[in-house]
Amino acid sequence: MQVSPTPKAPIKVLLCAPRGFCAGVDRAIQIVDLALEKYGAPVYVRHEIVHNKYVVESLRNKGAVFVEELDEIPDNDRPVIFSAHGVPKSVPEVARSRNLFFLDATCPLVSKVHKEAILHDRRDREILLIGHKGHPEVVGTMGQLPEGRVSLIETAADARQFAPKTDRQLAWISQTTLSVDDTQEIVEILEERFPTITKPHKDDICYATTNRQHAVKHIAPQCDAMIVVGAPNSSNSKRLREVGERAGCEKAYLIQRASEICWGDFEGVKTLGITAGASAPEILVEEIVEAFRLHFDVTLETVTTAEENIAFNLPKELRATPLVGETRPAE
C-alpha cells in the first residue's frame, strides 16, 4: 500500500514592496561593474561597496579587490572606488597625493549630509550628528571636518545629556539609515532643549530607509513571524528588524541566506512577512521564498506601500559606457 506524502502546512507570505536595493546601492554596484568593464581587473574598492556579502563576493569574482585602507593598494594606474557609505575628506586627499585614479560611489544622499555639515561649519554652527558610532557613514560624515567639530548623538539619553561646547548656534544632521522613530524621539528632545537649533531643510534619513520601514510597520501586526533579508553589519537592515519587532511582530529575524533559516522558528507560523534591506539583492529574497516553498504550501502576496522611481547619475568618467537599458536622470 502506497503511503501518501504528508501535506505541507499552509503559510501566507506577505512580501513588502518596496524592498531591497535603493538607488544609491544600485549606483554603487554599477560603478564597480562599469569600472571593471571599462578598465579591466583588478579594480580596488575601499571598504565593502555596500554591506552585503553576496554582492561583495559577486564583485570579487569579477575582479574587484576589497581593501580597508588605501595603504593596501599598490602605486599603479588601477582604479580605486570609494564605497556608497562615503569617506572622510582625508581619503581622497591621500589618493590625490599618491596620484591614484579614484571614482567616488558615495550615495548622493550621503553626500548631501556631508555638504550640510560643511555649510553649518562655515556658518559657525556647532554640529550634532545623530548616528551610530563606528558606522562607515558616520566616520565619513564626521571626517568632513576637523576632529572635534561634530558631536555624535547616538541615543535619546545622549540628547538629554548633551552640553554645548560653545555659545554658538546649534545644528543637527543625521545618518541616512536610522530608525525613523528613534531619530524623531532624539530630535524632539534636542528641539525641546534647544528651540533655536537648525534642522535639515529636507530629512536626512533617506527615502528608501523611510519607505522600507513604513512597509514593515504596515504588515508587522498581521505577521506571526518576519524575515529581513540583509547583513548583520547593515544599519538599515538591522533597523528594519527592530521596526518589525516594535510594530507587533515579536519573531523578527535578520537573515542573509536561505541556508541560515532555522526551520524550528517557523513551526506554527501562519503568516510570514518578508522584506529586504537596501543593500540586499532580490535574488536572495527569491532564494528564501523558494526555500519556504519546499517546506510549506506557500500563498504569496505582495503588499505595496510606496512606488520608487529614483535613480542617480554615474560619475562622468563612466557615463560614456552605460549599462544596457540605463537611463540618465538628472542629479
List the catalytic residues: 137
Q: Which 8-state DSSP code applies to residue 264?
A: G
Q: Would you say 249 and 185 are in contact if contact means Cβ atoms under 8 Å apart?
A: no
User: H/E element holding 252?
Assistant: strand 252-255
Q: Which 8-state DSSP code applies to residue 274?
A: E
- Side chain identity, residue 133: K
Q: Would you say 289 and 5 are in contact if contact means Cβ atoms under 8 Å apart?
A: no
> Between 207-219 and 235-246, two packed helices, what is the crossing angle to 10 degrees?
30
* Residue where the block lists cell 534636542: 190
User: H/E element holding 13?
Assistant: strand 9-17
Q: Pick from 81, 72, 79: which is nearest to 99 by CA?
A: 79
DSSP letters spanning 64-123: EEEESSGGGS-SSS--EEE-TT---THHHHHHHHTT--EEE---HHHHHHHHHHHHHHHT
The strands making up 102-104's β-sheet, listed across from edge to edge, are 64-67, 43-46, 80-82, 102-104
Q: Give me the sign of the Cα torsion angle 201, 139, 94, 80.
A: negative
